[in-house]
Amino acid sequence: MALSDPAIKKAKPTDKPYKLADEKGLYLLVNAAGKYWRMDYRYGGKRKTLALGVYPDVGLARAREKRDEARKRLADGIDPSELRKVTKTQQAESAANSFETIAREWYTKAYAGKAESTREKTMTRLEQDVFPMIGAKPVSAITAGDVRAVVERIEQRGALDIAKRAFNYIGRTLRYADSRGLVARDVSASIDLNLILTNRATKHHAALIDPIAVGGLMRAIDGFTGSFITLCALKLSAMTFVRPGELRHAEWEEIDLDDATWNIPGRKMKMGVDHIVPLAAQAVAILRELHAVTGRGDYVFPSERGGSRPMSENTVNAALRRMGFTKEEMTAHGFRAMARTMLDEVLGFRPDFIEHQLAHAVKDPNGRAYIRTAHLPERRKMMQEWAGYLDKLKVGAEVIPLHGQTAA
């Protein structure tokens, strides 16, 4: 008789282990330590047992799926137990020879005796810009496309020098791997870095990225004398760095002030995927105050002309011009570039955390798209620290210069 979920839940341990049979060799082994899925089968004339997981982590339906998968392998003449051993061995070898593992090995040898500041700067760049994208891949599986993707991602934020350094680190790691017989060749050797970095005609939105200049911007926003709704839009543009269209189309039903979260539906996002914006305490305070003004309507930032329309797309840019910032200095979209650069270059947050919060198409080392909740605790911490940093810049405190710059 086949097992059922109620029967499994009711099963209690006794003085001796016992089995609850299902079908086709599957059974549940119950003992004092827990409940374990097992499958008995014969291979090569010998009786063998395959472990299929622990209940309730593996439920009845999943246990049956695993059993059927094992039976298919047996039908193909493959011993599922031996296949599992081989797979584990391959996975262990893959982890031992991942790009990150080999890069750290190269780094330990290549940077022995180097100044601590040099060692720290190199490892920081690897950990922030390289490992999140290709660190988990086996070094033998790294392609020229992987290398280009790393370089281009860094270049997109305007950090050309860092892009060149990352390319150099990757190439040196691959050549070290080649010397150990782990790769057939250094795939980065086929890349003309100058062509990649100079042929991209990317148009960047004007943005302030110098800490002192950003401090001046935040003071100007704080002293803005126009509409209260526009003032709130300016402040939240800086704190949340969402796209201007996402900000002006924000609706109160998307915002959970108690949970400090703004959930933007995919239909409003450039990439068509739902997006989560963790709200810093300062952002929540602004929204609570704004709710008293616009909370009876749908839009957080309704049009000043009334009706059921959102704020005009020109409102934030017009406010910036009114405060004296030209279109060559700062734009509504520039708040994104400002945050992206300073979170990385000044506050030192991991690029993949930043890219997730910018709602860019970030993928894991296996090419799979991350889910919208990826790194959410880290992103909450980042958003709160960013809001705090903007407050400090506004009062002229803790001005940390960008790399390669000196504070005035």
What pLDDT does 404 receive? Answer: 42
Number of structural domains in the chain = 3
What pLDDT does 150 receive? Answer: 92
Between 219 and 93, the higher pLDDT residue: 219
- Residues 152 and 79 reside in one and the same domain: no
Of 95, 112, 144, at which residue does a domain stop? 95
pLDDT tens by residue, 11-65: 998 889 999 999 888 999 999 889 999 999 988 888 999 999 999 999 999 999 9
Q: Is the pLDDT of residue 366 over 70?
A: no
Half-sphere exposure of 385 (CA within 13 A, CB side): 16
pLDDT tens by residue, 302-335: 998 776 889 988 899 999 999 998 888 899 999 9
Does any domain span residue 235?
Answer: yes
Going through 179-309 in order, the beta strands assigned E by DSSP cover: 255-256, 261-264, 275-278
- Residues 160 and 182 reside in one and the same domain: yes
- Residues 226 and 346 reside in one and the same domain: yes
What pLDDT does 80 receive? Answer: 87
In the predicted model, what is the mean pLDDT of the chain?
86
Has this prediction a pTM greater than 0.85? no
Between 283 and 117, the higher pLDDT residue: 283
CA quadruple 287, 289, 294, 297: dihedral, nearest 10? 60
- Residues 229 and 340 reside in one and the same domain: yes
Of 79, 95, 111, at which residue does a domain stop? 95
CA quadruple 151, 155, 159, 163: dihedral, nearest 10? 20
- Residues 370 and 240 reside in one and the same domain: yes
Boundaries of domain holding 325: 211-394
What pLDDT does 408 receive? Answer: 34
Q: Decide: 35 and 55 in contact? Cβ < 8 Å.
A: yes
Does any domain span residue 406?
Answer: no
Number of H helices, E strands in the chain: 17, 7
Q: Is the pLDDT of residue 372 over 70?
A: no
Mean pLDDT over residues 225-250, rounded?
95
Q: CA 35 to CA 57: how far, in whole Å?
A: 10
- Residues 150 and 223 reside in one and the same domain: no
Q: Is the pLDDT of residue 270 over 80?
A: no
What pLDDT does 45 receive? Answer: 83
Active site residues: 243, 270, 333, 336, 360, 370
CATH number at residue 166: 1.10.150.130
